[in-house]
Amino acid sequence: MDGRVQEENVATSEPSTLARTQVELAKLAGVSQKTVNRALAGHPDVSVKTRRRIRRLAAEMRYIPNASARAMRSGRFGSVALVLGTGWWSSTLPRELEFAIQSALAEHGLNLMLSRLPDKKLTSEGFVPKILREWLVDALLINYTDHIPPAMLEIIEAHHIPSVWLNTKLDANCVHPDDFRAARELTAWLIGLGHRDIAYEDYAHYEAELAAAHYSARDRLEGYRQAMRDAGLAPRKLGDRSDLAESGGRDSTVVASRRWLAAEDQPTAVVSYGGGAYPVLLAAQSLGLSVPRDLTVASFGDRQLDVCGIDVPTMVIDHRTIAEEAVRMVLKLMDAPGESLAPVAVPTRLQDGAAAGPRAKPGQA
């Protein structure tokens, strides 16, 4: 036996009345009440085909489950909370990810509750252990991405709260984009186009502060460096504090970009951490550089970047797969709250756009 709920192959009865209980719905569907209950709850041990058939019949019969009765029978509330902090820098939630999570949970009959909480509550021994019961949820999806309070991790682990971390690189129970692989593949793609002088730009993070920054700042930089070393090329990082020291002012990133793009050793391609693609392209246009003939800028994002009508080659984050993997983890942890599940790094995909072109300086292969 593989643990799957046995599903009776009894022909579905012709419905003539509304289904008021799961027993009535089970009779109409020709299966057991247990199968109906687990199918409506989205339990994975009921086949997708049977789940869809029972849900379709429930909709036709206008069956409305009694949430209180279901919670008493199963010990489950049928909801998952998506927890965010109040700081915009540590809990950015892309709309693509939010929609994907809602869709993935709905596939399993689960609802989503969204909540932003200050650090004081997220690190409170008096609040966190009661969070599931007081919110009437079965598990947490946590989108708190960096500068995570140590006490928050300790409390969640100590109380075995079923939790999956999103866009965070931890030792267990987390799902995140594979940023190291994304940067390595993006750089290798530029090398394949003929570029040899490829710089890495990151105006958002200074290298001296990378240890405390979001993991992507470290992984993207190291992925770029690895691809350059593999090709026998010298890595070159731009956008550190020294690049901005002489610029100052509101548009310092554009000024700094103009300075190194106008230098004799200007790169022919730039891998940009993220938002830095904008000032680099603005600086290139102000200098009369043609994109992509004179310069190719590539980056990372939730969708393909568009700067001044230019489609930037972008390693696009696969939010749908991240959501599906996170929900798969949540379902496992709901059954085994203390379990440690291996981290999942989700690959990105390249959308190359029109702003990429082959380029090599005279005399370079």
| Helix intervals (H) in the chain | 22-29, 33-40, 48-60, 67-74, 95-106, 119-122, 131-135, 150-158, 179-192, 215-230, 241-244, 252-261, 277-286, 319-335
DSSP string, 6-65: P---PPPP---S---SHHHHHHHHTS-HHHHHHHHTT-TTS-HHHHHHHHHHHHHTT---
Domains of the chain: residue spans and CATH = 22-74 (1.10.260.40), 79-177+319-347 (3.40.50.2300), 179-317 (3.40.50.2300)
Round to whole Å and give the CA distance between 257 and 268.
13
Cβ proximity of 221 and 229 under 8 Å: no
pLDDT at position 6:
46
Q: Distance (Å, rounded) from C-alpha 22 to C-alpha 77?
A: 17
Rounded to the nearest 10°, the torsion over CA 79, 80, 86, 87 is -160
Look at residue 357 in the predicted model and tell me its pLDDT: 54
What is the distance between the alpha carbons of residues 55 and 22, in angstroms, rounded to a whole number? 12
Structure confidence at residue 234 (pLDDT): 96
Beta bridge partners of 306: 311
Per-residue pLDDT in tens (0 to 9) along the chain, 365 residues? 444 444 444 334 444 445 567 778 888 888 888 888 778 777 777 888 888 888 888 887 777 665 544 544 555 678 999 999 887 777 888 999 999 999 999 988 889 998 888 888 888 888 887 888 788 889 999 999 888 888 888 988 888 899 999 999 999 999 999 999 999 999 999 999 999 999 999 988 877 788 888 999 999 999 999 999 999 999 999 876 666 655 555 458 888 899 889 998 999 999 999 877 888 999 998 999 988 889 999 999 998 888 777 889 999 999 999 999 999 999 999 988 889 999 999 999 999 865 555 554 444 44
Whole-prediction pTM: 0.76
Contact 219, 180 (CB under 8 A): yes
CB 116 within 8 A of CB 136: no
Residue 235's φ and ψ, nearest 5 degrees, are -65, 150
The pLDDT score that the predictor gives to residue 362 is 41
Please answer whether residues 112 and 135 qualify as being in contact, where contact means their C-beta atoms are separated by less than 8 angstroms. no
